[in-house]
Amino acid sequence: MVQHKTTVQQTTCYTSASLLRLTIKLENLGLHPSLRDWISNFLTDSLQSVRVGNCVSSTLTLSTGAPQGCVLLYSLYTYDCVVTSSSTTIVKFADNTIVMYLISGND
């Protein structure tokens, strides 16, 4: 038997294409439309700058991604990631999901 591990990071989950998927998931969970809209607005066209000491960079508008620490959004996005095989284990912690599976015989 060989054990394999795949890790899914938060940064790979918030692209412009996946925002529609997240919105559909939030609708399926029964979230109120105004809350879904707020989350969508939060993840769309956010402003970002960097400060080092007294120096601040110019502001950029980001059309994809989520601010660091959006663990709740990641949890909502991956809530339906479930085990479908007895040889698979899913471990979720904060903004990481690890899928571990065994390959044996003709798998």
Count of structural domains, the chain: 1
The more confidently predicted of residues 9 and 57 is 57
Chain centre to alpha carbon of residue 21: 11
* pLDDT, tens digit (0-9, with 9 covering 90-100), for 19-54: 788 888 889 999 999 999 988 888 787 788 889 999
**Residue-number span of the structural domain to which 56 is assigned:** 2-103
pLDDT at 3: 61
pTM score:
0.57
pLDDT at 76: 80
* pLDDT, tens digit (0-9, with 9 covering 90-100), for 54-73: 999 999 887 666 666 677 77
